[in-house]
Structure 1
C-alpha cells in the first residue's frame, strides 16, 4: 500500500494503482516465508512475474548493477539474452545456494523438458546481508521455506519486516520489503509501473522522508554505522518495452534511492532488475521472426518519473511498515514509526 495513509505523505506527482504495490501490474504476485524466533530473524520472499508457464513464456527483462557488492544469481544470462524465465527469489546472503537449488527443483517439477529435450534454466535469486539481526551462519533457510514463499504469492502481500526483509536494516532502522506503483497514460490507455525493494542500506543521518531530512523530524538514539548494506530493486510494468528500454528504467532507480538519502557506499550493493509482462518470448517458436511492440523513446520520460517515484516510496514503505525487531545476541533495531510516535526515547 506504499506509505500508510495515516502519515499523510505524498511522494511525487503521478497517481498510483489500487494497491500501490508492484502487484498492480496485472499478473504479478508476491509471497513470503518469515522466520522470526530469537536469534533467527530471516526468511524468503518470492515474486511471480506472471501466472503462466514462465519457462515457456519468458518475459523481456534487463538488469543494472549500480554498485556490485552483491551475490545475485542469474543476471549474466538476463543481460545476454534479455529474458526472465523463473520467479525471482529474495533471501539472505548465505542462503542464496539453498534458494537457488529449491527454485531449480520448482522449475524442474513444472517443466519435464528442462535438460532433457531442451536446455537448462536460469534461476534468479537476490540477496542482502541480515547478519546484524539474524544468525546468518546458522543457515536456517530451507528449501521448504522457498516452496512456502512461492505458494504464498498473492497480489495483496505484506510489507516491512517479513520474508527476506525480516532481518534487514534500512538507514539504520528496521527495513525490509517495500513496494509502490505508478500509473502512466500512453495513447489514451493507462499502464502501470511497479517496484519492490529489499532494503538493507544507507545511513540514518542521510535519511530523507518526503524530502525532509530525518534530523528535522526527530533526534533519536541510533548508533553510528557505515553504509555497508545493500538494496535489491525489482521493476515491473505492463508497457511494451525492449530490453534496452528496460535497462534505461533500471538506471533511473538510482534517482529514487538518492531521494531517500542513499549515496551508494563502497560496501553497499545496489542491484536493479526490470521486466515487462507485455513483451513475451516463447521458448519454442514455429517462425524465425517474432512480432514485437515497443515504446517510442520520445515517450519514455513519464516512465522515468514513475520509476523514481516508485522506488522512493518503496524504500519509505519498507520503513513505515516495519516493526522494531530484537534478534541475534539480543540486538534491537528500532522501526521508524516507533521513533515518530515517541515509543523509543529520543536524544535530549
Structure 2
C-alpha cells in the first residue's frame, strides 16, 4: 500500500484506518516530500522494571531533520520560529529571531538531553563541514519534550554517538513514525505517541510547492481529544494510563515545518504560528505545563544564501497576500501529523511499570465510518 497510508516498516497511519483529511498530500505524505529534506533516528529502548537512575529503564532517543542534502548542510535556510507556550526549550531561537536563518541538522530529544544533542551537532558539523566553522560559530537548533513518565530521564542515556547515528542515517523517502527517535517515550492525549509527519501540495500560479510537517507530540488531555471534528476523548476512558509513580502534567510538542516555496523569514514565522491552529483542531487548550514550540524553514533561495562575495543578493518570495494556501497546508499537516504519531505508536511499558496505551484502532475505524468526508484537493 502507498506510504501515505503506511510507515516505512509497514505500520498503519491514520489514512490506513479510513480517516480522511483536507488537502492533497505529497507522494509520501511526510516532511521528506520537500526535496532535499531527510529524517534520521536513534532509538534507545533498554531494560524493564523499577527505576534505577543511571541504569534504566530507558525509553528515549534522538531525531535529526536535515534541511538540505548532507553535502549542502552548511548553506543556511531562511527560517522563522514561534513560541505558543514557552514551557520548553529550543536552542538557537534568539538567533532565528535575529537573522531569520538556521544551519546544520535540527535535533529533537528528551528535555534533559537537549544540550547533548546541540553540542554533538556542532561536533559533527566540525568534522563533516570543517570549513563552515573555521573562525566562525554555529548555533544549531535542538529541541525537546519530556519523557520522564516512561524513561530514566535523569540517567542521561543519550550520548553524542546517538546524535551522530541519527544524523548519519537520515534519509529521504518513507519514514518511521510513533515510538522512534526523540519520540520514543512520548504520549499525547493520554495515548502513546511520539514522532509523526504529513505533507501537502500547494499550487501557486503555474507551480506546485510542497509543505511538509514533522511533530514530536507529547501534549494534551484525553478528555479534549477531537478527531475529524468529533470529541472522542471524553468518553474514551479505556484503555487507561497505568501509573505507579506520582502523576505529572508535563507535556509539550515540537513542530518542524519545511517548504520549498520561496519565503522570507518573517513569512516563515507566520507559517510557524499556524501550527497552533493544527493543534487546536485536536482540542488542546495549550496547557500551562506544555512547551509548544514551532519552527518553519524554506529550502528555496539556496544560491543567494550560499553566496560568499560581498555583493547584494537577489532572493525570490511569494507576496504576503498570497500565503493563505500555505497557511492552510500547515494547519492540515499539523493535524494529520499528530494523529499519525498516535496511530503508529504501540502500547509501551516503561520505568516502574508505568504504561501508556496505544489509541484503539477500532475506535478510529468506527469514527471514519461516521465522520463526514473531508474536502480533498485534486
User: Shorter-normalised TM-score: what interval?
Assistant: over 0.9
User: Does the alignment pair 1:81 with 2:81?
Assistant: no
2:261 maps to what in 1?
A: 239
The answer as to whether partners of 2:17 and 2:364 remain within 8 angstroms in 1 is: no
Q: Cα RMSD between the aligned structures?
A: 2.0
1:62 maps to what in 2?
A: 80
User: Does the alignment pair 1:318 with 2:341?
Assistant: yes
1:145 maps to what in 2?
A: 162
1:70-93 deviation digits (Å, cap 9, x = unpaired): 122111111111111111001101
2:40 to 31, 47, 52: 31
Corresponding residue pairs, total: 340
| Residue aligned with 2:301, SS | strand
| Residue aligned with 1:305, SS | helix
Instruction: Describe how 1:200-219 pairs up with structure 2 within 5 A.
Output: 200-215=218-233, 218-219=236-237
User: Does the alignment pair 1:255 with 2:277?
Assistant: yes
**TM-score, length basis structure 1:** 0.93
The answer as to whether partners of 2:177 and 2:197 remain within 8 angstroms in 1 is: yes
For structure 1, the 5+ residue unaligned runs are 343-348
| Residue aligned with 1:113, SS | helix
1:17-75 deviation digits (Å, cap 9, x = unpaired): 01000110011110111111231000001001110445541100010111111122111
Instruction: Tell me, in whole angstroms, the C-alpha distance in 2 between the residues paired with 1:52 and 1:304.
Output: 28
1:123 maps to what in 2?
A: 140
2:171 maps to what in 1?
A: 154
C-alpha displacement at 1:330, in angstroms?
1.1
1:241-299 deviation digits (Å, cap 9, x = unpaired): 00011011011110000001111111100000000001235355214210110001121
Instruction: Tell me, in whole angstroms, the C-alpha distance in 1 between the residues paired with 2:72 and 2:331.
Output: 28
The answer as to whether partners of 1:61 and 1:82 remain within 8 angstroms in 2 is: yes
Instruction: Tell me, in whole angstroms, the C-alpha distance in 2 between the residues paired with 1:298 and 1:338.
Output: 41
| Residue aligned with 1:196, SS | strand
| Residue aligned with 1:66, SS | strand
The answer as to whether partners of 2:74 and 2:132 remain within 8 angstroms in 1 is: no
